[in-house]
């Protein structure tokens, strides 16, 4: 069965390319359309390992998909509909880089990766991205616009570089893109993307209970809960500047309710079976949340100047690597992560998240560090020992743990690059910043970051844009940059573990292709 699916996927991609090329030539040889029709990256077949996983989980190659993103965990999940009609998790991809803080995007240029519910249609798929491949998240949606939020070109793309996007490796985005493409072939008009600050568990809600975004997070948790209890894509509507999930018409209504994000909510009901299941889940969550707060679960430290996060499997392979606002590895798992195969090619120009040492040094040094030991399916946060708090809370705990693993220091000593002859009694007290700087100096070599800014400049600018926005860096045309990249990347499962260098490129988000571009590419096969 698996070999049949593989052959079918490959044959379809090849036939589509040939058919579209012929139709474009007859229409007048438009260079952009020819490029789209013959784009090998966008027509890569779904890898055999993924097809085997689909067969094992009773999924069809062209069944609908759903994507969930989590910043704190730095993970992207692809769910796929089984033959039973419910969605099941197909694969989890570690996110190479995301930018900003936990919380929704508010305005153009704030470097925030969006949070909320978005719809991805074929026109948002970009096969000519300078970031290998990409798709537009659809931000801002109606809810964002109702609040006056601004921003554009917020993508999920390759190249492991982000300015308000979710960046994967090239191999990862090739797989994700192929899964989206096949779902469109199967008739799915759009797939849902759910973006969250973290997995909406009681322990995470307790850790972030003082965050000013909590009201927004509780609102989108409603949709999270709907999916958790039904394993169906929740229907999303907006009214009174809020999200509404799985709304249906009232028993006496003759037509479906009409929603407007800026208007008063119409009369609607939520199906009783869904409402009851969601209510029971929320009651369990609230009971567990109350227990965690009563136990004194430490509140997560607010952003201390760190820009975004990176999954730990990438951070251990990058010079000066740091998970930033994402979850850091424990010392016991460092060696295993370092020996495991990398999920794709990590660019040599990758810019990992870095703590703002000045802000971290000024922050309170006795603030509890959030730690979550396992407890069945729920992790309960607890405070770290006092002597470790100052280094851990500023981001130094990750590096200190790595130093201890390598025999280069301990949790209660300050690492230094040269021996000191000054008596300990006269030495100044160690600060969070000095601990972090010293640990970095011992563990990893210094790196020239002068090209980081150039790397983060936006590249994927539509040709129709003739003026540069004041908030954004200049965006050169993408066509030449895209041509300098290798045409194809191997599957994630075949990727080499070591980071390899790439052609230097300017960074940024990719443009959205025109809404009819997908139809023009794949219409011949429908």
- 29 is a catalytic site residue: no
Classify the phi-psi angles of 523: left when phi > 0, otherwise alpha if psi is within -120 to 50, otherwise beta.
alpha
CB distance 44 to 10 below 8 Å: no
461-467 long-range contacts, Cβ below 8 Å, gap at least 24?
461/153, 461/508, 461/511, 462/511, 462/512
Two structure tokens written together for 10: 């490959």
Among 96, 157, 160, 208, which one carries the catalytic annotation? 157
- Kindly name the residue from 165, 208, 226, 239 that is annotated as catalytic: 165
Instruction: Give strand pairing partners of 135.
Output: 125, 156
Within 8 A by CB and 6+ apart from 456, the residues are: 161, 163, 351, 473, 507, 508
Contact (CB, 8 A) for 480 and 32: no
Q: Please report the DSSP string for 403-426 in residue order.
A: HHHTTS--TTS---SS---S-GGG
**Which residues share a beta bridge with 69?**
76, 195
Element (H, E) at 289: helix 272-294
DSSP for 197-215, written as a single string: SS---HHHHHHTTT-TTHH
Q: Which residue, 377, 405, 189, 380, is CA-closest to 298?
A: 380
Which residue, 307, 352, 331, is CA-closest to 400?
331
Q: What's the CA gap between 368 and 355, in Å, rounded? A: 18
Annotated active-site residue 157? The verdict is yes
Residue indicated by tokens 């939020």: 149
Q: Which two tokens stand for residue 428?
A: 């100044």
DSSP 122: G
| Residues taking part in catalysis | 157, 165
């Amino acid at each position: 069965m698996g070999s049949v699916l593989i052959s079918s996927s490959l044959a379809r991609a090849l036939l589509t390319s040939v058919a579209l090329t012929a139709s474009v030539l007859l229409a007048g040889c438009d260079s952009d359309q020819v490029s789209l029709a013959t784009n090998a990256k966008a027509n890569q077949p779904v890898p055999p390992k993924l097809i085997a996983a689909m067969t094992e989980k009773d999924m069809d190659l062209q069944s609908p998909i759903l994507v969930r993103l989590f910043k704190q965990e730095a993970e992207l999940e692809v769910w796929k509909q089984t033959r039973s009609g419910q969605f099941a998790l197909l694969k989890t991809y570690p996110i190479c880089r995301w930018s900003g803080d936990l919380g929704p995007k508010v305005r153009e240029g704030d470097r925030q990766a969006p949070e909320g519910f978005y719809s991805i249609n074929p026109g948002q798929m970009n096969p000519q991205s300078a970031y290998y491949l990409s798709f537009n998240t659809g931000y801002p949606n109606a809810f964002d616009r109702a609040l006056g939020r601004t921003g554009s070109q917020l993508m999920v793309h390759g190249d492991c570089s982000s300015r308000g996007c979710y960046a994967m490796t090239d191999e990862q985005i090739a797989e994700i893109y192929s899964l989206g493409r096949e779902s469109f072939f199967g008739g799915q008009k759009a797939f849902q993307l759910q973006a969250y600050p973290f997995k909406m568990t009681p322990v995470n809600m307790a850790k972030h209970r003082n965050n000013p975004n909590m009201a927004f997070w509780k609102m989108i948790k409603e949709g999270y809960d709907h999916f958790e209890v039904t394993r169906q894509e929740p229907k999303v509507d907006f009214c009174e500047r809020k999200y509404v999930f799985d709304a249906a018409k009232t028993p006496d209504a003759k037509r479906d309710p009409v929603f407007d994000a800026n208007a008063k909510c119409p009369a609607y009901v939520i199906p009783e079976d869904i409402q009851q299941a969601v209510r029971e889940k929320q009651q369990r969550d609230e009971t567990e949340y109350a227990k965690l707060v009563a136990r004194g679960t430490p509140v997560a430290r607010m952003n201390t100047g760190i820009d975004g996060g990176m999954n730990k499997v990438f951070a251990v392979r990058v010079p000066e690597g740091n998970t930033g606002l994402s979850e850091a590895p424990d010392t016991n798992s460092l060696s295993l992560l370092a020996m495991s195969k990398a999920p794709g090619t990590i660019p040599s120009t990758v810019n990992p998240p870095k703590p703002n040492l000045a802000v971290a040094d000024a922050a309170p040094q006795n603030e509890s560090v959030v730690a979550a030991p396992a407890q069945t399916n729920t992790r309960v946060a607890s405070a770290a020992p006092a002597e470790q708090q100052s280094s851990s809370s500023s981001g130094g705990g990750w590096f200190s743990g790595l130093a201890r693993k390598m025999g280069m220091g301990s949790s209660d000593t300050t690492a230094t690059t040269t021996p000191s002859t000054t008596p300990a009694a006269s030495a100044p007290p160690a600060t969070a910043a000095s601990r972090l700087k010293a640990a970095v100096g011992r563990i990893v070599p210094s790196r020239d970051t002068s090209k980081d800014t150039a790397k983060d400049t936006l590249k994927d600018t539509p040709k129709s844009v003739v003026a540069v926005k004041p908030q954004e860096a200049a965006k050169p045309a993408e066509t030449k940059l895209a041509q300098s990249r290798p045409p194809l990347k191997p599957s994630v499962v075949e990727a080499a573990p070591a980071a390899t260098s790439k052609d230097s490129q300017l960074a940024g988000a990719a443009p959205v292709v025109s809404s009819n571009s997908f139809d023009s590419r794949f219409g011949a096969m429908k």
